[in-house]
Chain A
Amino acid sequence: MENAEKYAKVDRDILAAMEKPGRLYLAGLAVAAALTVIGGILWAHQIRTGLGVAGYTHPVNWAIYITNFVFWVGIAHSGTLISAVLFLFRARYRTSFNRAAEAMTVFALMVAGMFPLIHLGRSWVFYYLIPYPTQRQLWVNFRSPLIWDVFAVGTYFTVSVVFFYVGMLPDFAIARRCKEGIRKKIYTVLSLGWKGTDREWRHYGMLYLFLAAFATPLVASVHSVVSWDFAMSIVPGWHTTLFAPYFVAGAIFSGTAMVITLVIPLRKAMHLHDYITDDHFESIAKILLFTSLIVSYAYIVEFGMASYGENIFEMEAFRYRALGEFRYLTWAMIFCNSLVPLTLFARRLRRNTAYLLVVSLLVNVGMWLERFVIIVTSLAHDFDPYVWGTYRPTYVEVGISLGSFGLFFMLYLLFVKNLPVLSITEIKEHL
């Protein structure tokens, strides 16, 4: 095939994903939107009635909302890993996933950012967390991990949005050329008048390199800061130096699983088999396997430290985690996160997208359970047996959590139909 024809085919194939949606797509969008609305109504109910409608008890006053926060921030991480770290390592297969992964990062952070506000109860005073000059001359306490969160997640979101947008800039110029009507006008403005001159490409190359370099440390730092929300306390099961690397590995693990969950149906629905090949899925399955091994190692270390640490509270926390009230969740977590991914050592299974989809869904479940187990079991069963308690989520909490999944998938579905799902210019570059 002539080069020009090849390039035109890439334009056509990828922009074809933005054509009129089919019935299945609309049905999916409707379900996601309905869940979002239900979640919104329940949140409004919680704001109106008070935090009592959540299942918080003494001593478990961090539960599903914080689980969701940690889960969604974690999901965001592999987006940055794929778009920034793999870019710096010049991993070619990154091109198949980076746009979808960057979109995932931005949407997951939007969803994650809502949960501390939902958990606050009085969501409308969230601005107390932001340092700004007031008449009372009071400033925030920068020694508090919650303030670190504001800075870490705020920075992460801003940088991810810039990175996402910058990556799409040349593609907007292509969409502008190929689309008609109001869409053409929108893409024209979004493309900022990009023409593809040597000057633009030269500065663009440097910009992309630096954004990747700035985003790379965030992969390690943001979830470390999130883990310190827990590790800075003295609660048994939380107070450990292992937490930062443990959380970062878990974040990349869950995020990679989510990328797989999102891209396999995307490839099938949009007929992108030429661009996202089985080889690419095999590479990303290897990341999944590798991070699963790190997470399993962290589980072993965690239990190991508790068992030889001579600290009866820590020992009891882990005995309770494995054998107590929430034992089924703990075992399900170990099954999903440590055992199921081991099957990916088999090459044939790594290349089987249907199997990979099942594994990635189980990993998503497992990683959600991991955060739940860490948060709830530690609080329910700390130092003093007199204050031991338990926790059951209410329908409000469950509904808001499902709503967060609805919101995430709704944003993702809207992204698929409105923005180029693969980096067109990068694919052409590697043709």
Chain B
Amino acid sequence: MAERMVFEDRDRFLEALRRRVREGLPGERIRVITPFGVPEVEEILSPGRSNVRFFALVGAACGTAAGFALTILTSLSWPLIVGGKPVVSFPPFIIIAFALTILFGALSTFAGFLLLSRLPSLRGIRSEEEHGNAFVILVEDGERR
């Protein structure tokens, strides 16, 4: 690790970060640790929008498909007319598909977050290193991990 800067103040930290990027340091080599989410960091380092959103989309779409597949296929596997309703009754099936859309979407978004943020991280759990409420800029020699 080439360089490490620690700040107590949010604004001074952002200023230093901006300066480093302006000086031509590629965003990939900078790692930042903050005590809470600082939206400006994303603007300065511009790593692109988080891909968690694709997990949300795919999960939700799978949920809708699973909801309709479960209701329609199970109804067709024993086509019994109940209460004079058609065997494949869409209106009630929409409720199941809706619930599964939300369920699969939320779980898949969470899984996507864990995957992309590389959590749970055994190294993070074992490490005793603490930064407290400090804002830290780490500049690495090569590509960041």
Q: What is A's interface to B at a CB cutoff of 8 Å?
A: 2-4, 7-8, 11, 131, 137-143, 147-148, 151-152, 154-155, 158-159, 162-163, 166, 170, 174, 177, 188-189, 191-207, 210-211, 214-215, 217-218, 221, 225, 425-426, 428-429
Contacts and interface: CB of A to CB of B under 8 A. Distances in A.
Given A4-B8, A158-B107, A205 B119 contact: no
B77 A193 contact: no
Given A11-B133, A193-B124, A159 B41 contact: no
A147 to B, nearest CB: 8
Nearest to B80: A141
Given A3-B8, A192-B125, A196-B35, A139 B77 contact: yes
B2 to A, nearest CB: 17
Nearest to A133: B74
A143 B117 CA distance: 41
A141 B81 CA distance: 10
Given A198-B42, A204-B117, A7 B35 contact: yes
12 contacts: A147-B96, A154-B103, A159-B106, A192-B124, A193-B123, A196-B33, A196-B131, A200-B117, A201-B37, A201-B41, A211-B109, A429-B36
Contacts of A207: 50, 52, 109-110, 112-113
Contacts of B52: 203, 206-207, 210
Contacts, number: 181
Nearest to B13: A3
A158 B109 contact: no
Interface residues of B, number: 66
Contact of B95 (A138, A188, A225, A428): A225
B36 A425 contact: yes
Contacts of A218: 102
Most chain B beta carbons < 10 A, residue from A7, A152, A198: A198
Nearest to A228: B95
